[in-house]
Amino acid sequence: MKYNPKVNEQLARLPGFSQQHPAIPEHLSQGSLQLMYELQQALCEISGFPALTLQPSAGAQGEFAGMLMIHAWHQAQGNRRHKVLIPDTAHGTNPASAALCGYQVVPIASDGVLSVAAVAAAMDEDVAALMVTNPNTLGLFEAHIREICTLVHERGGLVYCDGANLNALLGVCRPADLGIDVMHFNLHKTFATPHGGGGPGAGPVGVSAALEPFLPLPVVVQEQGVYRLDCDRPFSIGRLRTFASQFGILVRAYAYVLTMGAAGLKKATQLAVLNANYIRARLEAAYHLPYVQRSLHEVVFSDAHLPNNCHTLDVAKRLLDYGYHPPTIYFPLVVQGALMIEPTETESRQVLDEFCDAMLAIAEEAEHHPELLHQAPVNARTRRLDETLAARKPRLKWQP
């Protein structure tokens, strides 16, 4: 997860950026088009892809765009493949995006990471693509990804990478070099922009040269120092949204890339991985670690070792009493009672220690005073909610 520096917000609010009309003619918006073009270039350099679209308004829409391009590529080859392989660790948006493109989703069981044998067993001539997250939602690097990409290609498929976890790879490895054909970026998880939550956000998509003709319209191009929106692309999958992009989000990501520089981005990745592993080392004696492979930017514990009928939800609610916004719980689904901790790279050792102390104190309470967990939160304004009712019939007005 990311810290969103204030300077990005200030730059996105500059009147020249924030007050321009999205339908402004190209000759009056050369600065904005240049920013988009240079962000495209930067993301291509970081990921290794030769071409990229900035259009999608969220990671999920990026997935949808990527799968549409895969579909268009197969159609252009005369292929009628109708299945997409997705590992059991995937984020829910992955099968949803594939299904929205008309694909039948085939789940692949993984043992933390995907094996070549599991993909080989499922990879027949009806499979259009494998959709894989790297590092996956357990925070584990897909160690066999190169062999898996080779296998999928040999059998006529393409590989989509959910790049939401790219914060663990910046400056260390480029997904395109691993054999990936298409990947979306979650700017809000890697490039310090606010989370889209389905929009407004941005989920750019990088593609291989073979998929470049299918990019959505328009694509920002530069010819002899002049920038323009290219709409003359006969094989394009078309438009995903009314205007070119969610521009304010792009300004923030561009500012982040330039202020960090190549060395700074790599350092952010190294610190994200270090912080997650520090938390892992401090908590693994107290909380069950279902997958013991080395983790990258996030670590997933479970509630399997908690005594006295204490569960993940109780830990999350008790964290509120200690003043912490709880981490993601009950995801990924392959871990029963999952507690996924993804510390921001900017957190200091002191902050990480305070959080770990709270988690260790809660584990002790589970042993000796389980009622403190069962009753939590006691220090928050509201106690436990009926979460289904809150989601279905939210009360959106503050009432004194």
CB of 107 to ligand PLP, least distance (A): 16
CB of 223 to ligand PLP, least distance (A): 32
CA distances (Å), origin 26, targets 39, 149, 254: 18, 40, 20
Positions in 316-335 near ligand PLP (CB under 6 A): none
Count CB neighbours of 149 within 10 A: 23
Q: Is the dihedral of CA 162, 163, 164, 167 positive or negative?
A: positive
Question: By CB under 6 A, which span of 113-121, 197-205, 245-253, 377-385 interacts with ligand PLP?
Answer: 197-205
203 binds ligand PLP (CB under 6 A): yes
For tokens 């900017």, the residue is: 346
Question: Bridge-partner residues for 218, per DSSP?
Answer: none
56 binds ligand PLP (CB under 6 A): no
Q: Which is nearer to ligand PLP, 30 or 344 (CB)?
A: 344
Q: Residue of minimal CB distance from ligand PLP?
A: 59
Chosen residue from 8, 186, 236, 275 binding ligand PLP by CB under 6 A: 186
Positions in 91-120 near ligand PLP (CB under 6 A): 91, 93
338 binds ligand PLP (CB under 6 A): no
d(CA 89, CA 160): 15
Burial 183-211 (b: 16+ CB within 10 A, else e): bbbbbbbbbbbbebeeeebbbbbbbbebb
Q: How many residues bind ligand PLP (CB under 6 A)?
A: 17
CA atoms within 13 Å, Cβ hemisphere of 93 = 21
Question: By CB under 6 A, which span of 16-24, 194-202, 284-292, 370-378 interacts with ligand PLP?
Answer: 194-202
Largest Cα span, the chain: 72
Distance from the first to the final alpha carbon of the chain: 33
190 binds ligand PLP (CB under 6 A): no
Question: By CB under 6 A, which span of 41-49, 109-117, 158-166, 237-245 interacts with ligand PLP?
Answer: 158-166
175 binds ligand PLP (CB under 6 A): no
Binding site for ligand PLP (CB under 6 A): 58-60, 91, 93, 133, 137, 162, 164-165, 186, 189, 196-198, 201, 203
